[in-house]
Structure 1
Amino acid sequence: MGGRTGFRDNPADRLVTMPEGLPELTLGWEVIRWAVKYLKQPNGPHAGRRWEFVDSQVRFILWWYALDESGRWLYTHGVRRLAKGSGKSPFAALLALAELTAPVRLADFDPQVPGGCVGKPVQMPLVQIAATAESQTENTMRMVRALAPKGSRIVADFGLDPGKTQYYRQPEGQLAVMTSSSAAAEGGEASCIVADETEHWLPGNGGPEFAATLADNLAKSGSRMLETCNAWKPEKGSVAEASYNAWLLQEEGRTRAEDRILYDARVAPPDTDMADEASLMRALDWVYGDCWWVDRRFIANRIWQGTSSPDDSERKYLNRPTEAKDAWLKAAQWSACADPSVELADGEQVALAADLSKSRDATAIILCRVSDGHLFTWDVWEPPLDPDEAEHWEVPRRELDARVAQAFERFDIVAFYAEPGPLLSYVDLWGERYGDRVCMRAHPKNPVRFDMRSTQDGRAHPAVLRRFTDAAMSLHDAIVNGDVTHDGDPRLHRHMVNARRWPNNYGTGIGKSSRHSSAKVDAAVTAVIARLARTEYLALPESRRRKAPTSRKVVVFRGRGGRARAARARRR
């Protein structure tokens, strides 16, 4: 029996993050009818005409206002992370005005109307456009004023009193700017919050604390927050990055929260080459999609200017967050090597690797197929996200032992390297149990033990460190050149992009950004060890290697630039 070991879909690799299709129940059509009736295009070549949505905006509105059969929101938090110039501010202003005046709360279900829902306006709406500084709200607030100027139909019909930083609606409705320095932030009961430019909400300006306060306020009333942002700078601790990580956890099924995040991003393909005109123009066409107002050629010329930073261009125009300066890999490089369609058949020859931990770190098992070096994530155990639960958590050792046994039952394990950490007794047990079944020995005394901390003072053993460092540099080069493939597992992806370069006497290895970092890298370390085990097995004399099955199969692998090609390969 053959099978796949990895996830079918890594959310970090998605180039479009919105749900597929359209929701069955939604108040979105009410918002669209309201906007077409009351709003006019404020600027650009269509200035003064009736507001027209593009398809991507319609899809977001329909999903943002989607309901379940009990009338509860499907999504309680939204994020629109789009490339610079995609129209985030006008759209955010539109939704803010909709929350102030439009029928955006459920009055009744009606299967005869589009979306199956009839809406009613919010009673005593309090709509806040929030940022850490008032200047960050200016783009959105400027569009609010442009969409609802004095003398306009929307102002007259709803009795609005326009101001520079706030609008009043009789009798007690309000749309206003809110900053982290405002005394009203604590305890307010907003009906909707638009969090503007959250890539700039940083610990240094109180951004995360402000976001937490707003979230607490919303929780009291069951109301919602919509973020707008560009891709963030790495490791700055921005709210935008935290929201993205929360969405990843949601999509991986690693959170218990029932409330869900609607995340809207269009991301350039990972093989985009900004120096190649054709590649860049394809990427810009993809990222900007139906944003007809964006001149792609103008953006390309801005990217190619000598004063433009490649990292800034990647964040602003390709909508890709960039990596830390000491990152081992770029996320795009790893994503370009993903091929989750590859299957690992029972009985195939593989090298098995494990990196063990007892509690605070993760424990991982990775398989590396001998025939082509494809990496499969067999299992990963990570501490719970809740700090109190994590404090008492330990890796499930019986489950760990059982997963190793299952690998030996299903596959022809030619090498098994395990970095023991605090679980040396298990590595000794595996050495006794499986030592006669492997061809390549990790250690002269124990064929399984690959101990990078084998000296009494805890420092890395020089010979083992050299082998690991060589393997890390070799795998890095293979990833950059597109000469390795993997199953696209989101846990391995996360650990790979968390890994940092660790120079040593033998070259550049990998490790955590700091000893106390909560960002796990254990699966990345395990992948390096698995590739090393395969390499050392293949270096054995042919007489010491096991004969592989002679059947033929199609192996899918990727070349430079992430392009997949299929080649018929004979398993030796």
Structure 2
Amino acid sequence: MPFKPEYPGEVPTLGWHVLDFISSMLAAPDKGEYEPLILTPEQAQFVLNWYALDPVTGRRQYRRGVLSRPKGWGKSPILSAIACAEALAGVVPDGWDANGRPVGKPWLAVRTPLVQVAAVSEQQTANAWGPLLEMLRLGPALDHFDIEPLDSFVNLPRGRIMPVTSSASSAEGARAVFAIMDQTEEWKQGNGGKRFAEVIRKNAAKINGTTLESPNAYTPGEGSVAEESAAFYKNILEGRALDNGLLYDHREADSDTDLDDELSVMKGLSQAYGDSADVNGGWVDLKRLAAERLDPAMPPQIFRAYFLNQITHASDSWLSEPELKGVAAPDTELEPGTSITLGFDGSRKRARGVADATALVGCRVSDGHLFSLGVWEQPDGPAGRNWEVPKSEVHAAVAEAFKTYNVVGFFADPAKWESDVGEWEAKYISKHLQIRASQAHPIEFWMNGGRAVTIVRATEKLHNAIIDREITYDGSHVLTRHFLNARRRPGQKGLQIAKDFPDSPRKIDAAVAAILAFEARSHAVAKGLTGRKRSRRVTRL
């Protein structure tokens, strides 16, 4: 029979069965004597979410997961518990019972289960492997199931739980029904982590298995597995992903957490650690952690990443995620007729690699609020082959901006769009453009050549306005991503921004368009054009 919800909007899940297994069969680690493993409400909610089912098909909703929390929150124990459940409990969907409730069966009823605890080093695997052995050796599971928890692997009635590292050749072809991927912020190209992740996911896909990552905050620009998973999640939020089978659970302290203010730090730590914080009934001593920020050997960026779980920035990043969150205003609405400026940065296609994006960004003159009007990017996978920017959509977005708002200035980098920019100049100069890039070309604003000093100053102006929280932006995922992708590049004329490397797939075009829009807005403010609405001319007879 079909699923019967007990309340409106209920999502079916096998998580309740898993929680029963954890509390009745596993021992809490690091206790010396047996105590049942009882998860915190926050941890239990993650288990319920992870084992969510599609109410129509009865299939698992998520094939991949990311649980991102600060150090000491308890990621390793909860992942170890889930690994034990995957090996022994009823985690495979098996339809609905007579009351329309979800039913699960163990992997043993389907195939010989292999569960892996994976990391790029043996030391990292110990984070989850040690607690896992304690849970099984000291808990009722040892007597209830025919298992043998040895130091190097756990024998199941059929199958195994085993640790594995990126240097192990056994990973190739080992089809794990479930794999923990621990500390994926450290899984990179250089240590074989990215290839390791590909192999694990490929093997799991062959048998309808799942993988679950447990990273701390990653450093943008390092290309880690954790960073790529975050990018995949952002694509889902932007509607650019073809698949949404990723459960992404990341929580961090507020962006305005001030490391020089103890009360602010304590509040931020409480937010990041949730139920695990002592002030919330948990075990993490927040005052002890707060004291770490005063240690000269603790760089602020490391403190934010380790203990506040804030994804900050690479050493050469133009902006950090906390800085952007501090000015994000996603609920801001613009009324029709509002005076704005536009910035445009375009591309066409690329013979190799990923084509640059094309972006149109607006800026409200009255307060400098930035907002995305359109960003066109090459899709991932087969859909991106032979892709070109849809010019008709770009022209339609420009036309809609002029129709909806009072556009007083429009700065566009004409590279590869010279004829289009010329067309916009001819079409819109007689309307509302009161700000001109130059007398000869009111819209054309080259980002290279003789304007180098102007661009340096424009880049600095926008950066300072964001850092000092003088403006806001729409908080859109695409604009945020392009801001975070931008890297500082010093030149003879001063500091500009660029991609991390020329053929990088991490694009910055929306950030460039924002700089142009904000520069046009600066000209408008200097000219006194701060009115909110388009004025109406009255003719008197």
TM-score, normalised with respect to structure 1: 0.86
Q: Which residue of 1 aligns with 2:206?
A: 220
Deviation at 1:337, TM superposition (A): 0.5
Q: Name the CA shift for 1:208/1:312 in 2 (closer, same or farther; >3 Å).
A: same
Residue 504 of structure 2 aligns to a residue whose secondary structure is coil
Q: Which residue of 2 aligns with 1:425?
A: 419
Q: Which of 374, 394, 399 is equivalent to 2:388?
A: 394
Residue 184 of structure 1 aligns to a residue whose secondary structure is helix
Q: Which of 513, 526, 540 is equivalent to 1:539?
A: 526
Q: Which residue of 1 aligns with 2:539?
A: none
Q: Name the CA shift for 1:378/1:214 in 2 (closer, same or farther; >3 Å).
A: same
Map Cα deviations across residues 439-459 of structure 1 (whole Å, 9 max, x no partner). Answer: 11112212111123xxxxxxx
Q: Which sections of structure 1, spanning at least 5 residues, go unmatched?
A: 1-20, 453-459, 552-572
Does residue 308 (structure 1) correspond to residue 308 (structure 2)? The answer is no
Deviation at 1:248, TM superposition (A): 1.5
Q: Which of 334, 337, 340 is equivalent to 2:327?
A: 337
**Equivalent-residue separation in structure 1 for 2:446 and 2:438 (angstroms):** 8
Q: Name the CA shift for 1:39/1:326 in 2 (closer, same or farther; >3 Å).
A: same
Answer whether contact 1:250 1:260 (CA < 8 A) is retained.
no
**Equivalent-residue separation in structure 2 for 1:270 and 1:547 (angstroms):** 31
Deviation at 1:502, TM superposition (A): 2.4
Answer whether contact 1:22 1:63 (CA < 8 A) is retained.
no
**Equivalent-residue separation in structure 2 for 1:466 and 1:513 (angstroms):** 22
Q: Which residue of 2 aligns with 1:325?
A: 315
Deviation at 1:107, TM superposition (A): 3.0
Which structure 2 residues correspond to residues 396-475 of structure 1 after superposition, within 5 A? 396-437=390-431, 438-452=433-447, 460-462=448-450, 464-475=451-462
Which structure 2 residues correspond to residues 279-318 of structure 1 after superposition, within 5 A? 279-291=264-276, 292-318=282-308
Residue 484 of structure 1 aligns to a residue whose secondary structure is coil
Map Cα deviations across residues 379-407 of structure 1 (whole Å, 9 max, x no partner). Answer: 11111122x54351111111111111111
**Equivalent-residue separation in structure 1 for 2:531 and 2:85 (angstroms):** 69
Q: Which sections of structure 2, spanning at least 5 residues, go unmatched?
A: 1-7, 277-281, 350-354, 536-541
Which amino acid in the other structure matches residue 385 of structure 1? Answer: D
Deviation at 1:504, TM superposition (A): 3.0
Identity of aligned residues (%): 37
Deviation at 1:215, TM superposition (A): 0.9
Does residue 160 (structure 1) correspond to residue 147 (structure 2)? The answer is yes
Alignment length (residue pairs): 513
Which amino acid in the other structure matches residue 165 of structure 1? Answer: S
Map Cα deviations across residues 495-515 of structure 1 (whole Å, 9 max, x no partner). Answer: 111111222344322222222
Which amino acid in the other structure matches residue 272 of structure 2? Answer: V
Deviation at 1:546, TM superposition (A): 9.3
Q: Which of 26, 38, 42 is equivalent to 2:25?
A: 38
Answer whether contact 2:366 2:530 (CA < 8 A) is retained.
no
Map Cα deviations across residues 117-137 of structure 1 (whole Å, 9 max, x no partner). Answer: 222221122111112222211
Residue 350 of structure 1 aligns to a residue whose secondary structure is strand
Map Cα deviations across residues 54-82 of structure 1 (whole Å, 9 max, x no partner). Answer: 11111111111111132211111111111
Deviation at 1:220, TM superposition (A): 0.7
TM-score, normalised with respect to structure 2: 0.91
Q: Name the CA shift for 1:366/1:234 in 2 (closer, same or farther; >3 Å).
A: closer
Greater shift in the superposed pair: 81-90 or 318-327: 318-327
Answer whether contact 2:60 2:93 (CA < 8 A) is retained.
no
Deviation at 1:537, TM superposition (A): 2.3
Q: Name the CA shift for 1:149/1:245 in 2 (closer, same or farther; >3 Å).
A: same
Q: Which of 239, 246, 253 is equivalent to 1:268?
A: 253
Answer whether contact 1:500 1:511 (CA < 8 A) is retained.
yes
Q: Which residue of 2 aligns with 1:490?
A: 477
**Equivalent-residue separation in structure 2 for 1:549 and 1:66 (angstroms):** 49
Deviation at 1:331, TM superposition (A): 1.4
Two-structure CA RMSD over aligned residues (Å): 2.0
Which structure 2 residues correspond to residues 352-367 of structure 1 after superposition, within 5 A? 352-359=342-349, 360-367=355-362
